[in-house]
């Protein structure tokens, strides 16, 4: 038994449980190529705690995952009983040139399941690789704003804003953020995650 529990029992006061937020994503969530503790969920949790917010960001990122993979894993991930969900999926759909309509269908199913579980949601967007042509890019890029408007959820338009294609902020593969890139992503996400937390606490 921990000292916190003992003291809590002695004083009749229990330690507050941290607010659980699930981050469902791919390698950009998992922390591909980074040392332990440097992933976006880990750094986001640290930044929020530094601001006095008792939170646990659950890392449900799997490298190589598509929106279909995230959809298949959602029920299992929700077993942790989070109160909020951050969705970071679609980068691999775009890299593989998968049909945007299918990405839409998968993300929509994730959102609907999360809403039915009474979770507050933050959707983070992704942009299609430029080499796939303007028609594909248009169809892919509009998936996220359409979903956000339809479901009335918050959208952070581009997860890699300020980081994508910047050599000094990415690993040698040019696709995954390094520690400095992660810091920028976390800084950009913070206002949206704080908004999410306020919605959870209403």
User: Catalytic pick from 27, 39, 67, 93?
Assistant: 27
Residue 149, CA atoms < 13 Å, CB-side half-sphere: 5
Ranges assigned E (strand) in the chain: 19-25, 55-61, 84-88, 120-124, 154-156
Say whether 192 is catalytic. Answer: no
What whole-number distance in Å separates Cα of residue 39 and Cα of residue 19?
A: 19
Question: Are 122 and 85 within 8 A, CB to CB?
Answer: yes
Q: How far apart are the first and last CA of the chain?
A: 33
Contacts for 117 with CB less than 8 Å, ≥ 6 apart: 78
Place of tokens 């990122």: 61
User: Catalytic pick from 137, 139, 173, 192?
Assistant: 173
User: Catalytic pick from 26, 65, 67, 176?
Assistant: 176
Question: Are 31 and 38 within 8 A, CB to CB?
Answer: yes
What whole-number distance in Å separates Cα of residue 21 and Cα of residue 39?
A: 15
Contacts for 63 with CB less than 8 Å, ≥ 6 apart: 26, 27, 30, 32
| Structure token pair of residue 153 | 């959820």
The set of catalytic residues is 27, 173, 176
């Amino acid at each position: 038994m921990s000292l916190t529990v003992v003291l809590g029992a002695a004083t009749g006061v229990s330690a507050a449980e941290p607010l659980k937020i699930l981050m469902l994503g791919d390698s950009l969530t998992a922390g591909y190529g980074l040392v332990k503790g440097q992933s976006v969920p880990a750094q986001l949790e640290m930044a929020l705690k530094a601001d006095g917010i008792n939170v646990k960001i659950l890392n449900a990122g799997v490298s190589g995952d598509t929106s279909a993979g995230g959809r298949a894993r959602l029920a299992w991930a929700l077993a942790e009983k989070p109160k909020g969900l951050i969705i970071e999926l679609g980068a691999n759909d775009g890299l593989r040139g998968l049909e945007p309509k299918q990405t839409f269908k998968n993300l929509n199913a994730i959102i609907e399941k999360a809403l039915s579980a009474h979770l507050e949601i933050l959707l983070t967007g992704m942009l299609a690789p430029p080499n796939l042509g303007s028609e594909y890019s248009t169809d892919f890029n509009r998936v996220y704003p359409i979903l956000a408007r339809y479901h009335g959820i918050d959208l952070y338009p581009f997860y890699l804003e300020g980081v994508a294609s910047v050599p000094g902020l990415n690993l040698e593969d040019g696709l995954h953020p390094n520690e400095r890139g992660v810091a920028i992503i976390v800084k950009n996400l913070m206002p949206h995650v704080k908004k999410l937390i306020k919605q959870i606490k209403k």
